[in-house]
């Protein structure tokens, strides 16, 4: 009976338009279908990235050659980085959950430019194939690291150009999504949806969209310059041609540091939705969280130099970048305080999304606090370019964005598919994943403090212990991951039908059917004066 119910309602999943089957998806301009297209493509690339990561950890299980040669290892960490950064965490939450939920959360039928939205996904796919072509064809996969630092990126004989063009096109995908979201949030809010009533996830998408729009062109230009230099010998970055490799680092990080906030802001937004819902309580300090979002988006532009403390900048630049790095930490701290205060005197419903959200706060704290260590000039001298940095950014980018992604997936799953997942397996998967995550990345902090440089194919015996633990951790974590993903895939097809509002949330997406109809709302909703996204009275 329930199954038939799901199938008979004309929703966005079963809707039949001009095209049938797969074409009905890859040519659909519906924001929800595009959101799912992103979900499937991102999860595919994520799986590839995870397999490469596993291979790297396996190689580091013992000193010397374990399973691969140095050249393979160097290519593996490069491709792992390019995939995870440009194809998984940067599009990540905005492209999947932003696309799916942004219009519904502001009471709109779609984004402002649905065709542009579809073009963004196609650009994403084109970028992915270009990068992968660099791996498959030519003189071997790129081996420069995802940072493409000059002048090694000019010396290497590997097939770098397709990877660079791929990253360039992925950047355009990101810019167009940002532009689309900005216009949507400005122009498409339903009557009564004032800025002061926007859900916090929408606010973080707004801050993120500005960064995507303003920062991404910088890396685009930089990658074009690298390509010109490689093809025609225009000397911009290569000292052999009179260029300046430090200039490359500046231009690269002017984008790539704000990019970290592209990754983490929507993650914070998702957590800001989940915690009030499961506490059945108004979010604590709504305006403070918005202010901190915008502060992060703005100050995040001005701290890129902290990636270059040992590169030989002037003393003044060092002080400036270190000081601002400490200041940008404060808005993140404010968010954490507000999230925890939201739980105070709540009526807490402990469910899978909350496990993810709470463990997000824990790993995000570790990631953020270890970032303070690296922001300190003196401590940075010792720890820069060591395993400590690798641990730090995996705690932020994987621990932060990754945990929030799974929190969001388990939170909005019943809305997206109209079905509920098996909560027992979901919780078991979370626990195993969480333990594995800690075992995988925590030893890297220790290894970094001991002085093990990063991007090392081989290491001295002194570093063996920490590496063994880390590799074991990777196995545990992947076990959890497999459980989580199988459970979600199975439940999307066979799970019991979900209610409209299983978690008793207050944002607009919980007022529409599960899964939503093609145009989300039969009638555009009107927000009354005393309504609000977290109005639990």
Partner 1 sequence: MYSPEVTQASNFVQGVDTAFLVILGISFFFLIGLTAVMIYFIYRYNRKRNPVATQIHGSTKLEIIWTVVPFILTMVMFYYGWLGWKPMAKPPKDAMEVTVYGRMWNFSFEYENGKRTDTLYLPKDKPVKLNLVALDVLHSLYIPAFRVKQDMVPNKENNFMWFVPQRVGTYELYCAEYCGLQHSYMYSYVKVMEDSVFQSFIADTTKVVAADIDSPIATGKRVMQNIGCFACHSLDGTKLVGPSFKGIWGAEHTVVTGNETRKVTVDEEYIKQSIFDPNADVVEGFMKGLMVSYQGQLSEDDIANIIEYLKTVQ
- Residue placing its CB nearer to partner 1 in the complex, 190 or 302: 302
Pick between residue 27 and residue 460 the one whose CB is nearest to partner 1. Answer: 460
**CA dist., res. 330 & res. 371, Å (int):** 12
| Residue (179 or 365) nearer to partner 1, CB | 365
Q: Which residue has the tokens 């991404």?
A: 216
Cβ burial of 401 (10 Å; 0-12, 13-18, 19+) is: buried
By beta-carbon proximity to partner 1, the closer residue of 153 and 177 is 153
**What are 338's two structure tokens?**
């507000």
| Shortest Å, Cβ 126 to partner 1 | 28
CB of 413 to partner 1, least distance (A): 21
Please say whether the beta carbons of 105 and 509 come within 8 A: yes
CB of 94 vs partner 1, minimal distance in Å: 27
Instruction: Supply the minimum distance, in Å, between the C-beta of residue 246 and partner 1.
Output: 6
Give 457-465's long-range contacts (Cβ < 8 A, gap of 24+).
457/59, 457/70, 457/73, 457/74, 458/63, 458/64, 458/65, 458/70, 459/60, 459/63, 460/63, 461/63, 463/63, 464/62, 464/63
Residue with smaller CB distance to partner 1, 114 or 245: 245
Please enumerate in sequence order all residues whose Cβ is within 8 A of that of 489, keeping only pairs 6 or more positions apart, or say none.
none
Of 120 and 380, the one with the shorter C-beta distance to partner 1 is 380
Shortest distance in whole angstroms from residue 386 CB to partner 1: 7
* Cα-Cα-Cα-Cα dihedral sign, residues 130, 133, 138, 139: positive
Smallest distance from partner 1 to CB 481, Å = 24
| Distance in Å, CB of 90 to partner 1, minimum | 22
Contact between residue 56 and residue 455 where contact means Cβ atoms under 8 Å apart: no
Q: Which of 8, 316 has the CB closer to partner 1?
A: 316
The answer to whether 338 and 283 are in contact (CB under 8 A) is: yes
Q: 8 or 347, CB closer to partner 1?
A: 347
Closest approach of partner 1 to the CB of residue 527, in Å: 18
DSSP secondary structure code for residue 14 in this structure: T
User: E strands, 382-467, where?
Assistant: none
* Half-sphere exposure at residue 243, Cβ-oriented, CA atoms within 13 angstroms: 23
Q: How far apart are CA 222 and CA 30, in angstroms?
A: 34
Largest CA distance in the chain: 73
Smallest gap, in angstroms, from Cβ of residue 285 to partner 1?
Answer: 4
> Are 61 and 459 contacting, i.e. CB atoms less than 8 angstroms apart?
no
Q: Which residue, 15 or 149, is less far from partner 1 as judged by CB?
A: 149
Question: Rounded to whole angstroms, how far apart are CA atoms 466 and 508?
Answer: 47
Taking the mean position of all CA atoms in its chain, how far away is CA 33?
A: 20
């Amino acid at each position: 009976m329930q199954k038939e119910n799901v199938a008979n309602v004309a929703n966005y999943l079963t809707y039949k338009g001009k095209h049938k089957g797969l074409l009905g998806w890859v040519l659909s301009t519906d924001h929800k279908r595009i959101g799912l297209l992103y979900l499937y493509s991102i999860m595919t690339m994520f799986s590839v990235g995870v397999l490469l990561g596993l291979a790297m950890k396996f190689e580091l299980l013992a000193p010397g050659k374990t399973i691969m040669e140095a050249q393979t290892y160097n290519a593996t960490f490069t491709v792992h980085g390019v995939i995870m950064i440009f194809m998984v965490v940067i599009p990540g939450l905005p492209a999947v959950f932003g696309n799916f939920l942004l219009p519904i959360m502001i009471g709109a039928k779609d984004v402002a430019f649905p065709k542009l939205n579809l073009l963004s996904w196609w650009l994403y796919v084109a970028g992915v194939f270009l990068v992968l072509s660099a791996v498959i064809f030519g003189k071997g996969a790129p081996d420069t690291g995802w940072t493409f630092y000059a002048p090694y990126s000019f010396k290497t004989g590997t097939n770098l150009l397709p990877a660079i063009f791929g990253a360039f096109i992925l950047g355009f995908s990101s810019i167009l999504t940002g532009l689309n979201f900005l216009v949507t949030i400005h122009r498409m809010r339903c009557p009564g949806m004032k800025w002061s009533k926007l859900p916090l996830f929408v606010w973080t998408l707004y801050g993120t969209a500005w960064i995507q729009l303003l920062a991404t062109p910088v890396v685009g230009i930089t990658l074009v310059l690298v390509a010109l230099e490689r093809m025609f010998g225009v000397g911009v970055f290569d000292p052999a041609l009179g260029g300046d490799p430090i200039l490359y680092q500046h231009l690269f990080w002017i984008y790539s540091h704000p990019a970290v906030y592209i990754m983490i802001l929507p993650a914070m937004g998702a957590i800001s939705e989940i915690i009030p819902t499961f506490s059945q309580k108004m979010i604590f300090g709504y305006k403070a969280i918005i202010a901190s979002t915008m502060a992060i988006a703005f100050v995040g532009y001005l701290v890129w130099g902290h990636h270059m403390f040992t590169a030989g900048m002037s003393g003044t630049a060092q002080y400036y970048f270190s000081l601002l790095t400490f200041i940008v930490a404060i808005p993140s701290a404010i968010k954490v305080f507000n999230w925890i205060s939201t739980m105070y005197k709540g009526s807490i419903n402990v469910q899978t999304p909350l496990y993810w959200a709470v463990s997000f706060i824990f790993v995000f704290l570790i990631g953020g606090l270890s970032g303070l260590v690296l922001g300190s000039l003196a401590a940075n001298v010792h720890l820069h370019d060591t395993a400590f940095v690798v641990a730090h950014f995996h705690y932020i980018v994987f621990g932060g964005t990754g945990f929030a992604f799974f929190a969001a997936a388990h939170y909005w799953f019943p809305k997206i598919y109209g079905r509920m997942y098996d909560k027992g397996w979901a919780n078991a998967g979370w626990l195993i994943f969480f333990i594995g995550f800690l075992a995988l990345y925590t030893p890297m902090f220790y290894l970094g403090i001991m002085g093990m440089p990063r991007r090392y194919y081989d290491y001295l015996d002194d570093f063996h212990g920490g590496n063994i633990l880390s590799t074991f951790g990777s196995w545990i974590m992947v076990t959890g991951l497999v459980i989580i993903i199988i459970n979600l895939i199975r439940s999307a097809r066979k799970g019991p039908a979900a209610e409209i509002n299983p978690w008793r949330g207050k944002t607009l997406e919980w007022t529409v059917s599960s899964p939503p109809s093609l145009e989300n709302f039969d009638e555009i909703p009107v927000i009354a004066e005393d309504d609000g996204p977290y109005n639990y009275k």
